[in-house]
């Protein structure tokens, strides 16, 4: 009996790693049925493994669809295990260079459940600037980083917003307008701009970072008082720099655009 239990435990760990491997390869998220079929395990056993992974934060379940995706704690674990390949160490030199070049606060942001997490920051020398956001979380539709990640992640969220199922949509006053905004972000080269979402007279501009498979894994966002972000400065200076920075970080994660 002890031997059987030991074998079962090893198999469970193996299947849990298979789940994590599948989720890291998914463009957005995966259903219970899809995961169960892929790892060749019953729905009941797959569900129990997912519940355990969710408790640890390695996997997260999306509320609208019930599907599963990689959790933020997986990034944390990867950072501890492979320090030189972490999101922070690969992105920080780039966001630091952007902060120095434009003298504005620049962040590396990732999605955490229904929020975005401001994971890392490069500070600027401006006397007038926003309160640092590093380590803080915000609903992803309140800021440019969340919008650009959701817009480029997949069309699932856009389709959901356009479906008109208002009873399942919380804290979104106009789903149709938001869906149009996300579609525009997808069509304009993947640049998002938001004013007032994180505070009065504050704005954020963001571009997505992708991994080797083309999956969105985060966003580089510049954040500060709106009076410093004139349209001409955005179009001629800031947006080209952010796109260049995001491309560089994405290449460090193995992304090679077609």
Q: What pLDDT score does 212 carry?
A: 83
Q: What pLDDT score does 27 carry?
A: 63
Q: What pLDDT score does 164 carry?
A: 64
For the chain, what are the domain ranges? 2-70, 84-252
Query: Could you tell me how many residues make up the chain?
Result: 258
Q: Can you give the pLDDT of all 258 residues of the chain as single tens digits?
A: 334 444 445 678 888 889 988 887 776 788 999 999 999 999 999 999 999 999 988 898 988 788 998 887 876 666 554 444 467 788 999 999 999 999 999 999 988 877 899 988 999 988 888 888 888 889 888 899 999 999 998 787 888 787 766 544 456 778 888 888 999 999 988 999 999 888 888 999 999 999 888 889 999 999 999 999 999 999 999 999 999 999 999 998 888 876
CA angle, corner 87, sides to 81 and 92, nearest 5? 125
Q: 40: which residues sit within 8 A by CB, 6+ positions away? A: none
Q: What pLDDT score does 77 carry?
A: 65
Nearest to 77, CA basis, from 96, 62, 95, 57: 57
Alpha helices, H only, 103-257: 144-153, 156-162, 175-187, 231-233, 239-252
Q: What pLDDT score does 165 carry?
A: 61
H or E element at residue 220: strand 216-225
Angstrom distance (rounded) from CA 254 to CA 214:
9
Is domain 84-252 in CATH 3.30.450.40, yes or no?
yes
Angstrom distance (rounded) from CA 186 to CA 192:
9
Secondary structure class of 149 (helix, strand, coil):
helix
Q: Locate tokens 């954040």: which residue?
A: 223
Q: What pLDDT score does 158 carry?
A: 81
Q: 18: which residues sit within 8 A by CB, 6+ positions away? A: 38, 39
Angstrom distance (rounded) from CA 205 to CA 144:
6
Q: 14: which residues sit within 8 A by CB, 6+ positions away? A: none
Q: What pLDDT score does 1 carry?
A: 37
Q: What pLDDT score does 65 carry?
A: 83
H or E element at residue 189: none
Q: Do domains 2-70 and 84-252 have the same CATH topology?
A: no
CATH classification (class only), 2-70: mainly alpha
Angstrom distance (rounded) from CA 225 to CA 105:
10
**For the stretch 134-158, what's the b/e string if a residue is b when 16 or more beta carbons lie within 10 angstroms of its beta carbon?**
eeebbebbbbbbbbbbbbbbeebbb
Q: 205: which residues sit within 8 A by CB, 6+ positions away? A: 144, 191, 192, 193, 194, 221, 222, 229, 234, 238, 239, 242
């Amino acid at each position: 009996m002890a031997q059987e239990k030991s074998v079962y435990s090893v198999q469970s760990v193996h299947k849990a790693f298979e789940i994590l491997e599948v989720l890291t390869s998914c463009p957005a998220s995966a259903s219970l049925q899809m995961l169960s079929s892929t790892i060749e395990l019953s729905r009941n056993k797959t569900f129990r493994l997912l519940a355990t992974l969710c408790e640890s934060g390695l996997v997260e379940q999306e509320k609208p669809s019930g599907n599963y995706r990689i959790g933020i704690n997986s990034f944390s674990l990867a950072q501890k295990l492979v320090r030189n390949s972490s999101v922070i160490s690969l992105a920080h030199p780039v966001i630091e260079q952007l902060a120095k070049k434009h003298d504005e606060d620049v962040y590396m942001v990732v999605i955490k459940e229904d929020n975005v997490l401001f994971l890392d920051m490069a500070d600027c020398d401006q006397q007038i600037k926003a309160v640092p956001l590093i380590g803080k979380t915000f609903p992803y539709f309140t800021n440019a980083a969340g919008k650009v990640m959701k817009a480029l992640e997949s069309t699932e969220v856009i389709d959901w917003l356009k479906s008109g199922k208002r009873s399942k949509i919380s804290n979104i006053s106009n789903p149709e307008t938001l869906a149009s905004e996300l579609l525009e972000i997808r069509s304009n080269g993947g640049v998002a701009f938001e004013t007032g979402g994180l505070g009065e007279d504050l704005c954020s501009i963001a571009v997505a970072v992708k991994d080797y498979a083309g999956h969105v894994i985060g966003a580089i966002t510049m954040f500060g008082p709106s009076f410093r972000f004139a349209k001409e400065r955005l179009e001629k200076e800031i947006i080209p720099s952010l796109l260049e920075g995001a491309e560089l970080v994405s290449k460090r994660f193995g992304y090679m655009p077609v």
